[in-house]
Structure 1
């Protein structure tokens, strides 16, 4: 049982089959309505994410660990419906004593793998399980019909998401005057191009973030627009100039939560992500997960906790978030770093114009507090040294100084 309640909920929320599980439940309701009948949906690793059946059968199944959060891959459970279907990549039936685990020999399992209709990626396994004596000869064609229904629903979800993101980013593409751009689906199909026809109808292979060279020699930059979703493709050649990763801009002064501008899109970051970004930008050489956890959570901070936050932040940053150590790559600007750099030389009135307040004023992260206090103290000394009454009044009026 490697997945506790919280880990199970996170994996369910992030899994693409979460969108089709309600459809599968409804379509197979009659098959799981009777006693001794169960319906499972696993991920590609063999974790059971959803289990459906009557209460009495679920209680019996629990004794064999046939419940959400359990791992039924062949590596950990031997021959079973879920594990062997994953291993073979095709529908599979396991009758009673054919199971490797003795706890499962009272059941007959029929399983079929489900693949992403766009990429062919294995997403998980749909499994119908019943008491050995109640074996259903139509279980295989029944599950195959349900699998086809799931594929149709996945394709419908993909098309709806493609249309939504396409509409969202078409205006952004039209603003990139002089730059050839396109939107690519996760399978490489070009769903929008500006101008039309500058790319082939499909990119070779599944898209990956970062610079790429197409078979014809065209150099492009691919950026993920949404986690698991579409990609922005930008050209780079003699006419448009080399491929350059757009500058990332971080705004955290006087803000409870930072904003992040990437390629024309503004993201409002969560508080933890704001803190992590500020720390990573302040240390371009990179930080280990343990060091970052200490700077965010204090001495008791755990690396596993900050890794989970970094995984969520990667959905926004994409290839800009590198690891070993964790760092932000490419060109970036941060309001607090730029101000800290100019404190010694820029005129005091200009510095105050650029200082709406301290860095992430509500943050209690030790590393952020150190960055915030350092910049604030440097500005305070600079204002005092300037001996300018107007600047002194403006400084005293800042919320942090009242």
Structure 2
């Protein structure tokens, strides 16, 4: 017997959306029941489903965490380095997402939704799914999705319809890419483009990933500028000291040395 093939997202996106969703639902149902599916889920999705089963996430129940209060949300927004690159993310994604009936969502490293913008109709749909500012969209809370799964695997992930572990999210498609701090490699969060399943496009993931990398480059540029400013202040001071000395920033990067 030939081994089953793996789902090809590009081929799925070329299908009628309802048929593609039905194919994925069949794969998910077979995997959850322990049967041998005719087509295997993509590895990143199958691995995520495995994590959800081990953690006891209910595939048929829409579980939502407590929303952050306005004060908690604002505190996280102020503390997030992603705040510095919001203009970059907006300029690159919001107009495109709005035209394509998508929304742009930015989360922190815990999976908490910090910001979102885009189509008003899609924002209302997102509200009905609990995909709103302050919500927790980590994998362990809402299952496989375009926020929580990229946070776990630390690479871009697109999730379409029944690739979402929880059934109530099957009308949704999302593509998310992690953003890391170029100063220390710390995971900062995810930039995600989401919308109704009819809006799936295989190029969305590449777009989101490129914008996430653009944001990282902007953070890197800002860091270099900050180091230059520190060097300008520290170098004359170090020059007056006897012996070896150096000046480093709060992230441990050397700005000046004698």
TM-score (ref. length: structure 2): 0.69
Q: Which has the larger radius of gyration?
A: 1
Offset at 1:67?
Answer: 1.2
1:73 maps to which residue? 138
Q: Say if 1:29 and 1:178 are closer, same or farther in 2 by CA, change over 3 A.
A: same
Structure 1 residues 42-84: Cα deviation after superposition (integer angstroms, max 9, x where no partner): 1111111111112222122111111111111112111111101
Matched, 1:151 2:216: yes
Relative contact order (C-alpha < 8 Å, sep 6+): which is higher?
2
Alignment of 1:3-402 (within 5 A): 3-34=68-99, 36-174=101-239, 177-178=241-242, 180-185=244-249, 188-193=252-257, 195=258
Residues 43, 49 of structure 1: 8 Å contact kept = yes
Residue correspondences, number = 193
TM-score (ref. length: structure 1): 0.45
Residues 248, 255 of structure 2: 8 Å contact kept = yes
Residues 119, 186 of structure 1: 8 Å contact kept = no
CA distance in 2 between partners of 1:163 and 1:2 (Å): 40
Give unpaired runs (5+ residues) of structure 1: 196-402
CA distance in 1 between partners of 2:142 and 2:69 (Å): 18
Residues 122, 196 of structure 2: 8 Å contact kept = no
Residues 118, 186 of structure 1: 8 Å contact kept = no
Q: Secondary structure at the match of 1:81?
A: coil
Offset at 1:35?
Answer: 6.1
Offset at 1:186?
Answer: 5.5
Structure 1 residues 175-223: Cα deviation after superposition (integer angstroms, max 9, x where no partner): 5x33632122466442201x2xxxxxxxxxxxxxxxxxxxxxxxxxxxx
RMSD over aligned Cα, in angstroms? Answer: 1.9
